[in-house]
Structure formats: C-alpha cells, structure tokens
Amino acid sequence: MEKYLVIWQRKAQRAFDNQMLWYYLNANKQFAATFFRNITETVKRISEMPSIGQLEKEEGKRIYRSLLSHPKCRILYWYDDNELHIIDLLFANRNY
C-alpha cells in the first residue's frame, strides 16, 4: 500500500501543540496521550487512503477533506499525487 508524504502546515502544527499542552496542563497525561495517539493514527490512516475523508470544499485542483480523529477534533487536509498536506485541526470547542 502506497503511503503519501505527510506535510504539516504551521497552523495545523500550532493547533496540535496548543491542544496537547492544554490537555496536559488541564486534563491529565493519559488524556493528552490518547489525543496524541488518535491524531497520529488518523494521519497514518489518511496517508494510506486519503480519499476516505469527508469532502469539505474544492478550490481549483485542490480538494479539501476532513476526517474525525478525536471526539471533538477533525483533521482538515488535501493531497496530490504523492503528498498529504495537513492544513488544520478543527475543534468543536477550543479550550484555550
């Protein structure tokens, strides 16, 4: 099975880091670890089969999709022939 090269945009990386820090400081280490595991497993799944996500919008040749990763977090991404671009993490409610 072909995997796509995963590229995290700064906005997505910042959202991930901020949410991890919030969970670590305000929830507990186990919850932060679960969040980390859910995100990384979902990104791995998307890199193996990027068309599984829900269609969000189309802009030119880019088709934006999202996939629920954590109970309150969706991963927004687009992909081309060999790269998967993680654009943002969308939260049902931001905790910070």
Q: Which whole number is the average pLDDT over 3-31?
A: 93
The tens digit of pLDDT for each residue in 63-91 reads 999 999 988 899 999 999 899 999 999 99
- Under CATH, which number does the domain 5-91 receive? 3.30.2310.20
Residue-wise pLDDT tens digits, 24-57: 999 888 988 999 999 999 999 999 999 999 999 9
> Residue 8: enclosing H or E segment and its boundaries?
strand 5-8
Pairing of strands 83-91, 5-8: parallel
| Residues with Cβ within 8 Å of residue 84, at least 6 apart in sequence | 4, 5, 6, 7, 43, 46, 47, 50, 77
Round to whole Å and give the CA distance between 59 and 71. 28
Written as six digits, the tokens of 3 are: 């995997």
Query: What are the extents of the domains in the chain?
Result: 5-91
Higher pLDDT pick, 7 / 71:
7
